[in-house]
């Protein structure tokens, strides 16, 4: 949860949450639900992954081995829902989707092992410069990020910040996967350098991304 409070105290936080005051309770930060290990219905052994409507159409039976599929959270929520998908009550705080910084770096580098030194070398350089993941993912300007890491990682961070990434939904115990639109990445360096050249703004705050 992201707050803008005059005094940081337990009472102020509780009051901001209970009142849903948009001036004090700004937004929540969440990961993409598709990133979960059981988001879609599927069968890991057969590499079958299906959205709710498709799984229901085939009776939740694996089209490969003909055994019962593992029902995903998305399908179960769809079955229990009493309102349409995308419904949002009035007066509630907004939200932002983020992904773990280390996994963004891992995706860009194309490294399979999450504990690889190459990942954490880049990660630690960003944390040393900006202090924490949230500053890197939400606030750090393009020009400052580019002083620390390769332009391909800067591009990935900005894509996550602007929610221009695709997550292949997880299923049957397999986590979802990040997709950074590889077909567009041929021109990353040229396009981003152009942005950096024209970027003369001061460092922004969380409020600038609301």
Which pLDDT does position 20 carry in this prediction?
84
Q: Categorize the per-residue pLDDT at 200 as very low, low, confident or very high, splitting at 50, 70 and 90.
A: very low
Radius of gyration of the chain (CA): 20
Structure tokens at 37: 């290990």
Residues 6+ apart with CB under 8 A from 139: 130, 203, 204, 205, 206
What mean pLDDT comes out for the span 174-197?
64
Structure tokens at 198: 């024209």
Contact 39, 20 (CB under 8 A): no
Which pLDDT does position 195 carry in this prediction?
56
Predicted confidence (pLDDT) per residue in 47-106, tens digit: 999 999 999 999 999 999 999 999 999 999 999 999 888 888 887 888 899 999 999 999
Give the separation between CA 173 and CA 70, rounded to whole angstroms. Answer: 9
For tokens 């991304």, the residue is 209
Share of the chain above pLDDT 70, in %: 86
pTM listed for this prediction: 0.74
For tokens 């190459």, the residue is 118
Q: Categorize the per-residue pLDDT at 190 as very low, low, confident or very high, splitting at 50, 70 and 90.
A: low
Q: Where are the domains of the chain?
A: 31-209
Count of beta carbons in the 10 Å neighbourhood of residue 125: 12
């Amino acid at each position: 949860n992201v707050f803008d409070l005059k005094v940081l105290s337990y009472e102020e936080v509780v009051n901001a949450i209970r009142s849903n005051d948009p001036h004090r309770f700004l937004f929540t930060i969440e990961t993409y639900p598709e990133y979960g290990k059981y988001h879609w219905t599927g069968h890991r052994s057969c590499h079958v992954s299906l959205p709710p409507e498709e799984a229901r159409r085939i009776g939740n039976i694996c089209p490969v081995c003909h055994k019962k599929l593992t029902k995903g959270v998305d399908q179960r929520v769809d079955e229990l829902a009493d309102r349409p998908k995308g419904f949002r009550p009035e007066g509630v705080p907004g939200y932002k989707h983020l992904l773990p910084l280390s996994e963004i770096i891992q995706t860009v580098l194309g490294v399979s092992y999450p504990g690889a030194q190459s990942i954490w070398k880049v990660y630690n350089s960003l944390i040393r410069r900006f202090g924490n993941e949230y500053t890197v993912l939400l606030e750090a300007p393009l020009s400052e990020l580019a002083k620390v890491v390769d332009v391909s990682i800067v591009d990935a961070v900005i894509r996550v910040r602007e929610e221009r990434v695709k997550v292949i939904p997880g299923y049957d115990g397999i986590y979802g996967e990040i997709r950074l639109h590889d077909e567009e990445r041929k021109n990353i360096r040229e396009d981003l350098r152009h942005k950096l050249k024209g970027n003369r703004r001061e460092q922004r705050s969380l409020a600038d991304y609301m």
